[in-house]
Amino acid sequence: MTHKLSLALAAALCVAVPGAAFAHDPAVEAAAPMPANPFFTASTLPYQLPPFDQIQDAHYAPAFEKGMADQRAEIDAIANNPAAPSFDNTIVAMEKTGALLNRTAAVFFNLAGANTNPAMQKVQAEMAPKLAAHQDAIVLDGKLFARIKALYDQRNDLGLDAESVRLLERYHTDFVRAGANLSDADKTTLKAMNAELATLSTTFSQNVLKEVQASGVLVSDVKELDGLSADAITAAAEAAKAAGKEGQYLIALMNTSGQPPLSSLTNRALRKKIMDASLGRNSRGGEFDNRAIVARVAKLRAERAALLGYANHATYVLEDETAGTVGAVNKLLSDLAPAAVANARKEAADMQAIIDAEKGGFALEAADWAFYAEKVRQAKYDFDESQLRPYFEMTSVLENGVFEAAGQLYGLTFKRRTDLPTYHPDVMVYEVFEADGKPLGLFLGDFYARSNKRGGAWMNAYVPQNGLTGTQPVVANHLNIPKPAAGQPTLLTFDEVTTMFHEFGHALHGLFSNVKYPQFAGTSVPRDFVEYPSQVNEMWATWPSILANYAKHYQTGEPIPQALLDKVLAAEQYGQGHATTEYLAAAMLDQSWHQLAANEVPSDTLAFEAQALKSAGLDYAPVPPRYRSTYFSHIMGGYSAGYYAYLWSEVLDAESVEWFKENGGLKRENGDHFRKTLLSRGGSVDAMQLFRDFRGRDPQVGPLLKRRGLEVAPASAQ
């Protein structure tokens, strides 16, 4: 997933801020020279890379405070400008506000996910309601909106180019959707709701992270870990030691319902203990319980939607997405559900046959799924993950795989930069160049898991491309690859390889951005469109010439054997029933919570969850939702009513993969076409129009159904 700032306006970054004057106290400085706050001036590093080596936790709060005050003053000047509103003195002027705040937010919110600590968590909790109030003060400023509306009403008579008209429409839409047309009394109510939601969302995400840390499963007898690799056992011993339980073993949990050790642990009782710990997260009482927060957030969002004139929160959200309506999303999800569950049941039958043949004497449960899925996979495809990993050394995957594909498609080259500061020694920095040698931007790779890093994988832009200032992008990818013991190579799973290609697809979207206004830069597209370019980039992970280039044995340099490779590719299809069902269940939960009116929000969170899955036909106990409501961070943060977006995007992805194959696959001509029509356009053109410009027609759902083995369902999208 991508990481987007919660502040719509903060996503637009402007540069060329004048050197910030700040009150100095000579006496204090003489006593204890305090380094200047590095956020107060634009970075002087290449590409305005944040000066990570100078940023301290104590810098964030003052930078946020001054950043909000500066932007407030800039906005006041625009709103109170005695000159009649013009596109330049109002809209372009707004695009240029908030440089300090944007600079601070881009670093802070990303590091709050990637490298947090208690001091940052405190700042996050303190700033969430203040930032929400700051944002509200802008979008609910009556004088400012009057100027925007006056321009909007004559938008086609202002002599503007298409991107500028779209920017004006975007501002008008954003302000209206944020409540600009409400009465003063309703605006006050709305502000209070937004402040409470901001606080609840921060508490929720911090609870999820703390619960992951608190609910790892402790094992005292190493025999119970039978099946785990020696490396995984060492890692569990080290995790226990770090937690003050030396001599024991700690199975750390990942953010999803499913947990990786379940595929190899032979001890069924331990498997069940781990699964129970995972599924029970944030709903077992105690200080990290999120049940009441989930219900309260659903109620507040429903009330806010009603205030803004919408039937429910999902209707409000989807109006601004390519999906458009609740009906369109419900149709995609419910059309696919029966076929997905039927496929999962077929997969379960194969597993139950193994359990019965082994005289196991039990019915397959969620905790057993990964273990027996691995057995079926080995029986059907005759290989296991450990045979593959020696061919997937991390740096080779990145440089000889991900970068090589970008080189052949787009002519890019990459140069490692070890001279630039980072926030953690594991972060790798590369400078990216065009085919003709012109610099394009910086790419940061932060690939290893840490206990202070949130789960999953994501991309963010520290510095978005900006056509007004000529600023080039600085983008980053974040993964959670377990770090090997010192001196050992980092060998990836096939999933991790795919994720690396996926996240780099987002990075390309950011790097290729070539728009005038920062509002439209890079990944500033609808949520149900943003996953599409990154999903397309996954196709190169298994493209034969790319794979041959990166998948070499880390010790011998031997290429991956063709027979093993064939099995890997065949096995890719295996497990689609489980994957699609757990995804659909989570997507349906997200919609269920957000399609409620305020008076329908239940008090019993888990009972509602169970009922919602049952009504959707997705209450198949061996396949729990990928996330349960109480640890579903996507929907409490930026993806509320938007988790369906991955599948929606995949319709476009599957179509585009077909296009590349029809047109000769991996070649410059094809890459250049994708870049020119779509990857470089950001949000400057309607998203579905971008797709049509690239593909030459509207999307069809067939390729997706084929890929996921769902062709029996009479489904359609669009």
Of the pair 297, 651, the CB lying nearest Zn ion is at 651
Q: Which residue has the CB atom at the shortest distance from Zn ion? A: 534
From the CB of residue 32, how many other CB atoms can be counted at a distance below 10 Å?
6
Of the pair 14, 479, the CB lying nearest Zn ion is at 479
Residues 167, 116 contacting (CB under 8 angstroms): no
**End-to-end CA gap in the chain:** 22
Hey, what are 143's tokens?
């004088």
What DSSP designation does 616 have? T
Shortest Å distance, C-beta 109 to Zn ion: 17
Could you tell me which stretch among 7-15, 204-212, 520-528, 533-541 binds Zn ion (CB under 5 A)? 533-541
Which residues, numbered 477-496, are part of the site for Zn ion (CB under 5 A)?
none
Provide the sign of the torsion angle of the four alpha carbons 76, 90, 464, 50, taken in this order: negative
Hey, what are 364's tokens?
């397959």
187, amino acid identity: K
Shortest Å distance, C-beta 505 to Zn ion: 7
Of the pair 440, 507, the CB lying nearest Zn ion is at 507
Distances (CA, A) of 36 to 109, 110, 486: 21, 22, 36
Could you tell me which stretch among 39-47, 55-63, 196-204, 529-537 binds Zn ion (CB under 5 A)? 529-537
Shortest Å distance, C-beta 476 to Zn ion: 13
Of the pair 518, 533, the CB lying nearest Zn ion is at 533
Could you tell me which stretch among 104-112, 339-347, 527-535, 544-552 binds Zn ion (CB under 5 A)? 527-535
Could you tell me which stretch among 259-267, 340-348, 443-451, 532-540 binds Zn ion (CB under 5 A)? 532-540
Hey, what are 287's tokens?
């200080």
224 catalytic? Reply is no
Q: Does 601 bind Zn ion (CB under 5 A)?
A: no
Closest to 587 measured CA to CA, from 217, 230, 340: 340
Question: How many of the chain's residues bind Zn ion (CB under 5 A)?
Answer: 3
Which residues, numbered 605-624, are part of the site for Zn ion (CB under 5 A)?
none
Hey, what are 206's tokens?
């911090």
**How many CA within 13 A on the CB side of residue 171?**
28
Could you tell me which stretch among 68-76, 531-539, 596-604, 683-691 binds Zn ion (CB under 5 A)? 531-539
Q: Does 523 bind Zn ion (CB under 5 A)?
A: no
Residues 388, 493 contacting (CB under 8 angstroms): yes
Distances (CA, A) of 475 to 186, 499, 505, 510, 526: 39, 16, 11, 7, 19
Alpha-carbon span 318 to 522, nearest angstrom: 21
Q: Does 701 bind Zn ion (CB under 5 A)?
A: no
What is the DSSP track for 176-196?
Answer: HHTTTTS-HHHHHHHHHHHHH
Closest to 320 measured CA to CA, from 715, 641, 698: 641
Q: What residues have CB less than 8 Å from 530, skipping those under 6 apart?
A: 2, 506, 509, 523, 645, 649
Of 1, 176, 270, 302, the one binding Zn ion by CB under 5 A: 1
Contact string 534-573 vs Zn ion (x = CB under 5 A): x---------------------------------------
Q: Does 215 bind Zn ion (CB under 5 A)?
A: no
Shortest Å distance, C-beta 332 to Zn ion: 18
Q: Does 498 bind Zn ion (CB under 5 A)?
A: no
Shortest Å distance, C-beta 534 to Zn ion: 4
Of the pair 64, 529, the CB lying nearest Zn ion is at 529
Of the pair 506, 628, the CB lying nearest Zn ion is at 506
Selecting among 393, 496, 503, 538, the annotated active-site residue is 503
Active site residues: 503
Binding positions for Zn ion, rule: CB under 5 A = 1, 531, 534
